[in-house]
């Protein structure tokens, strides 16, 4: 057993939900395919999980401000009662929003017996989405946020980035296949999650090389009409602070190709664990235990 594994083992015993996976990601070095230096211009991204009909309210909020969001769907759930249909998703996509992949069946990727079975399940879902006119998603939103070192290696050839439920604002250098999110509405756990707190996260991003990404579950109990109004104000605030509100695909393309997108590490912006804010890990783990 190597030293790194021993350390991981020792830390895991003291960690809550996703403990082993978090410890691995934090302690073991990022492999080359996982390294992502965020571009200098920050972005603010809104991701809705699960593709439920309530997402249409978020579409409306975003479009009122002329911006686009990300809608993560599980092909097996499309068209079920309460979930968006292929026709609705095609319209959302045609309006410029991004449709991301959220697992074929919404089963956690860490629960597959081996990489081959996970790959086969992903291929099946992607084929269904392509056939349904939703294109080939480049963005993966892990079901329940679950992923591991092994899962990241398995999904990397298929997706250009992947997002978890782990809390963080993403700053400087991040793990491309473990990009953090900030819960909004439902599943905020012990986070302050008030308007001032969200505004301050956006303000902090205005300095550059940050990528605060909201995680929404608009159909979940914790998400209210007031959250839609607050989202509207936050989008406005980001725009006023010069933080572009855009999809993952747009930020990965525009951001990485932008001239003058100097590495932020040079300015000392880099923080461990993808910019995870210390002292809030407990809140995030509470959230991970719930549905995401």
Binding residues for Zn ion (CB under 5 A): 49-50
* Residue 288 C-beta: closest distance to Zn ion, Å: 12
Six token digits for residue 54: 């309530």
* Residue 107 C-beta: closest distance to Zn ion, Å: 11
Q: Looking at beta carbons only, is 57 or 107 nearer to Zn ion?
A: 107
Q: Looking at beta carbons only, is 105 or 160 nearer to Zn ion?
A: 105
Q: Which residue lies nearest Zn ion, judged by its C-beta?
A: 49
Count of C-beta atoms within a 10 Å radius of residue 69: 26
Contact predicate 73/102, CB 8 Å? yes
Enumerate residues 6+ apart whose C-beta is below 8 A from 188: 222, 283, 287
* Residue 204 C-beta: closest distance to Zn ion, Å: 27
* Residue 292 C-beta: closest distance to Zn ion, Å: 5
Residue count (the chain): 292
Q: How far is Cα 50 from Cα 133, in angstroms, rounded to an integer?
A: 18
Enumerate residues 6+ apart whose C-beta is below 8 A from 208: 40, 41, 42, 264, 267, 269
Q: Looking at beta carbons only, is 34 or 50 nearer to Zn ion?
A: 50
Q: How far is Cα 13 from Cα 282, in angstroms, rounded to an integer?
A: 15
Q: Is 98 exposed, middle or buried (0-12, 13-18, 19+ CB in 10 A)?
A: buried
Residue found under tokens 């996970």: 118
Q: Looking at beta carbons only, is 79 or 207 nearer to Zn ion?
A: 79
Residue found under tokens 């509470």: 286
Q: Looking at beta carbons only, is 103 or 255 nearer to Zn ion?
A: 103
* Residue 73 C-beta: closest distance to Zn ion, Å: 9
Six token digits for residue 57: 């309210």
* Residue 67 C-beta: closest distance to Zn ion, Å: 23
Q: Looking at beta carbons only, is 51 or 275 nearer to Zn ion?
A: 51
Contact predicate 148/110, CB 8 Å? yes
């Amino acid at each position: 057993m190597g030293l790194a594994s021993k350390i991981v083992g020792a830390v895991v015993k003291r960690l809550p939900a996703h403990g082993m996976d978090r410890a691995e990601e934090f302690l073991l070095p990022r492999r080359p395919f996982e390294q992502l230096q965020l571009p200098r211009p920050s972005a603010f991204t809104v991701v809705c999980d699960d593709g439920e009909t309530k997402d249409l309210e978020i579409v409306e909020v975003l479009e009122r401000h002329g911006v686009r969001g990300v809608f993560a769907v599980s092909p097996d759930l499309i068209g079920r009662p309460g979930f968006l249909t292929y026709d609705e998703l095609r319209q959302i996509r045609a309006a410029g929003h991004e449709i991301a992949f959220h697992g074929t069946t919404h089963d956690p990727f860490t629960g597959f017996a081996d990489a081959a079975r996970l790959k086969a399940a992903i291929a099946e879902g992607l084929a269904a989405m392509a056939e349904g006119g939703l294109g080939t998603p480049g963005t993966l939103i892990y079901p329940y946020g679950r992923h591991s070192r092994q899962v990241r290696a398995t999904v990397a050839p298929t997706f250009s980035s992947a997002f978890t439920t782990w809390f963080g604002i993403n700053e400087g250098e991040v793990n491309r296949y473990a990009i953090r999110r900030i819960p909004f509405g439902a599943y905020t756990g012990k986070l302050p999650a008030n308007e001032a707190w969200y505004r301050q996260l956006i303000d902090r991003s205005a300095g550059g090389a940050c990528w605060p990404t909201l995680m929404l579950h608009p159909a979940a109990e914790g998400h209210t009409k007031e959250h839609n109004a607050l989202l509207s104000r936050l989008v406005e605030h980001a725009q006023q602070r010069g933080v572009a509100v855009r999809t993952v695909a747009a930020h990965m393309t525009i951001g990485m190709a932008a001239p003058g997108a100097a590495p932020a590490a040079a300015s000392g912006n880099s923080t461990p664990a993808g910019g995870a804010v210390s002292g809030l890990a407990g809140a995030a783990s509470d959230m991970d235990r719930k549905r995401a």
